[in-house]
Chain A
């Protein structure tokens, strides 16, 4: 059971981030909270790929039989980190434009239905 405690961190990040999304009073706060929830996927993937006593999967100056951590999950995480900043930028763009039309940044404020 003690071996599974690190995975609780990923669950905690997801739920804390979603709590921020659910109770947010400002769209920018909402997006930043969403990025916290997104970090949970990075943490979970890297923890799943971690090998006790393994070194980084770089074979410069070490023989290729060395015990290493899983390189596949690291590849998934590092591309997603870059994607996340562009997609979050798109969300910020939506916030900026919606503020021009509705004059509010509060997600709980009543929004006009028609444009």
Chain B
């Protein structure tokens, strides 16, 4: 049972990571980051690492996507408003 859950979560990490890399538009990529982060957090959970989960939840779900979004916003303003 444990092994089955772990295998499933590991496969989902591999698939979602591939999706993130193959999504070429950075704005779409931020959306693709969310399922990847969720699957990574689930992997940390099934590997019995609750402390890592606490860090990963905020970093993966909130801080990192928002920073990428802000950077994209600045890049767009550079172009709109040179």
Contacts and interface: CB of A to CB of B under 8 A. Distances in A.
Do A and B come into direct contact in the complex, CB within 8 Å?
yes
A24 B82 CA distance: 25
A58 B26 contact: no
Interface in B17-33: 17-18, 20-22, 24-26, 29-30, 33
Interface residues of A, number: 48
Contact of B75 (A50, A69, A96): A96
B42 interface: no
A85 B22 CA distance: 22
B17 A35 contact: no
Main secondary structure of the interface of B (DSSP, over half): helix
A75 B55 CA distance: 11
A32 B68 contact: yes
A49 B51 CA distance: 14
Contacts of B51: 74-75, 78
Contacts of B64: 35, 85, 88
Given A36-B17, A88-B64, A100 B49 contact: no
Contact of B50 (A43, A58, A85, A100): A58
B55 A78 contact: yes
Contacts of B24: 25-26, 29
B63 A85 contact: yes
Contacts of A74: 49, 51-52
Query: What 9 A-B pairs are tightest by C-beta distance, nearest first?
Result: A20-B21, A28-B26, A92-B71, A81-B55, A56-B48, A46-B47, A69-B48, A78-B55, A78-B52
Interface of A: 6, 9, 12-13, 16-17, 19-20, 25-26, 28-29, 31-33, 35-36, 39, 42-43, 46-47, 49-50, 54-58, 68-69, 74-75, 77-78, 81-82, 84-85, 88-89, 92, 95-96, 99-100, 103, 105
